[in-house]
A = this chain, B = another copy of it.
Amino acid sequence: MKPISATEAVKAIEAGTFTSEKLVQSCLDRIAERDPVVKAWVHLDPALALAQARAADKATGGLLRGVPIGVKDIIDTHDMPTGHNSPIFEGTRPFGDAACVALCRNANGVIMGKTVTTEFANRHAGPTGNPHNAAHTPGGSSSGSAAAVADGHVPLAFGTQTGGSVIRPAAYCGIIGYKPTFGDFSRVGIKMQCHSVDTLGLMARTLDDIALFRGAVLALPPVAIDRDVSAPRVGFCRTPIWSDAEPDTQALLEKMAARLGAKEVAFAPEFRNILDDHGAITGWESLRNYADERLRNPDKVSAELMAVLKKADGITFDRYVAAQRKTVAFKAHIDSLFDDVDVLICPSAPGEAPKGQDFTGDPRFNSIWTLAGTPCVTLPLGAGDQGLPLGVQLVGLRHADDTLLSIAQWVLSHA
């Protein structure tokens, strides 16, 4: 049976034909059945979830009334530990909720539990498996959130993206991932990795659910998906790293580009190496942002993260500044591409989810857009050579997220 969407659930609960308690219980049942294999959850307190559900049933209204939400474990919760997949924070319970969690509670959502993250949303992976084939990674760093939504544990979950940590795992797991325009969503109470790019993102199985969830996080009436948009002007952006995409991904994108009547859109030559600038900014910032962890608790930081930070120590301040200046020009350049198109399509990831749990996959097709600050959506539009999901990434003009989501719906129904 296809699991119910958040939008349908809220409607039914509001109509009195369904209850949050039943929904949450069915999600808990699904988790009990599947999580021994998928391992999406690091903290789950069924009694607390059901208590929230009963309160939501008694409440009135709320955009997310009664809907269970998975929360990546670098996001603070006042009533659950927030462990960051690090022994440094094992069992620590924050003094408050992250703003995004508080806003979901205010919308009468149910904070279901905490989902597995890589260590501090960096590289060191947790145990989560891909629901389509648990021998493969679900992607990272928002590993548990993507797997939980894909496997029907919850309809909604939070992820965060510094490189490709929302779009990539969503693509690997065959769901919809959404990274908003940089700055729109509050980051209060979310462990900061790189302040210039870190972005809270959303995962769901339908675009209507993304729009609803987005409304709650913005604390605004949601802008519904517009199903009457006219055919958008689609740009096919291979990006300067097209050759890093695997053949099945290249074939999917070329098929979609043809089907959607897309024209080729390329970066200006001076941005050919823009990924290096993403690397300079994130490296320079993360070395400083993790100062407390690496200096006071070096023995509790993974070898992977220490290696990342050691490499980052070679980035000079001049290089950082040059990358920041280049990013200003890059953002303006990307804005200018939208003079001719309404949306860009490109790969969501190089290919299918890699085998094993240690390597969560390459974020390079996402880091470009995280640096650009553009809104991005991944749609599950194909399958690769191993039968695992492939995503198509849609990129919109900064601050035109509503438009992007409606275009994404158009693409879904024309793909």
Report Cα–Cα, A192/B324, bound state, in Å.
22
- B196 and A192 contact, CB distance less than 8 A: no
A365 to chain B, nearest CB (A): 25
Docked complex: A72-87 residues within 8 A CB-CB of B? 78
Copies in the complex: 2
Q: Is A265 an interface residue (CB 8 A)?
A: no
Q: Is A291 an interface residue (CB 8 A)?
A: yes
- B183 and A288 contact, CB distance less than 8 A: no
Q: Is A228 an interface residue (CB 8 A)?
A: no
- B287 and A96 contact, CB distance less than 8 A: no
- A218 and B317 contact, CB distance less than 8 A: yes
- A97 and B186 contact, CB distance less than 8 A: no
Report Cα–Cα, A103/B287, bound state, in Å.
11
Q: How many residues from A make CB contacts under 8 Å with B?
A: 44
- From B289, B296, B321, A78 is in contact (CB under 8 Å) with B296
Report Cα–Cα, A89/B95, bound state, in Å.
8
- B291 and A220 contact, CB distance less than 8 A: no
Question: When each residue 285-299 of chain A gets 1 if its CB lies under 8 Å from chain B and 0 otherwise, what string results?
Answer: 101111111011000
Which residues of chain B have C-beta atoms less than 8 A from A273's C-beta?
none
Decide yes or no: A78 and B292 within 8 Å by CB, A195-B186, A317-B220 being known contacts: yes
Question: When each residue 214-256 of chain A gets 1 if its CB lies under 8 Å from chain B and 0 otherwise, what string results?
Answer: 0000111000000000000000000000000000000000000
Report Cα–Cα, A95/B101, bound state, in Å.
20
- A325 and B399 contact, CB distance less than 8 A: yes
Report Cα–Cα, A186/B282, bound state, in Å.
12
14 contacting pairs across A/B (C-beta < 8 A): A78-B292, A78-B296, A97-B291, A100-B291, A102-B291, A105-B296, A183-B196, A186-B195, A186-B288, A188-B288, A188-B290, A218-B288, A219-B291, A321-B399
- 16 additional contacts, CB 8 Å, given A102-B292, A220-B317? A78-B292, A88-B96, A96-B292, A97-B291, A99-B288, A100-B291, A102-B295, A183-B195, A186-B291, A187-B192, A188-B192, A188-B290, A188-B292, A189-B292, A219-B287, A328-B331
